Amino acid sequence: MNVSTTKIVVRYNETDKMGIVHHSQYVNWFEIARTDWIRQCGLSYRAIEEEGVMMPVLGIEVHYHSPALYDDTVLVETTLAAYDSIKMSFNYKIFREADRKLLVDGTSSHCLTDLSLRPVSIRRKKPELHAIITQAAGLA
């Protein structure tokens, strides 16, 4: 299941006066899609945090190719790009559904931490969570 697809219909409040999606919205869509990827693994951010694991963002990279417009339906394809039980990164590709045109691509990187935001090895601290992630990513 390394790839998940999230469908989003562009809402009016996500656009500027010209009906073009504001550049900041793509990062929000990355988060929505990442949450869906985790959910499709059979987990949830909430459950992971309740287990005492946080996933703060270390960095975001976004490349803009073509604008999304008000009322477009876009597809966000999310893949786990790297995982070493302490850090993980995701790749994103956003396409307009109607013509499959690539609009945006990017990455996000995350550190797995305890509640004090100290990095932790999920392989050692939460082996069951590590197993789910590696299996979902096709790394097992």
- pLDDT 10s digits, 43-64: 889 999 998 999 999 999 999 9
3-state SS, residue 35? helix
Q: Tell me the C-alpha distance between 114 and 123, whole Å.
A: 13
Active-site residue list: 16
Sign of CA dihedral 86, 34, 81, 59: negative
How far is it, in rounded angstroms, from Cα 133 to Cα 56? Answer: 17
Average pLDDT of span 90-101? 98
Range 109-114 average pLDDT: 97
Question: At which residue do the structure tokens 């876009």 appear?
Answer: 74
Cross-strand partners of 62? 106
What confidence score (pLDDT) does residue 136 get?
81
Task: Provide the pLDDT for residue 138.
Answer: 78
pLDDT confidence bin for 1, thresholds 50/70/90: low
- pLDDT at residue 56 in the model: 97
Could you give phi then psi for residue 43, rounded to 5 degrees?
Answer: -120, 180
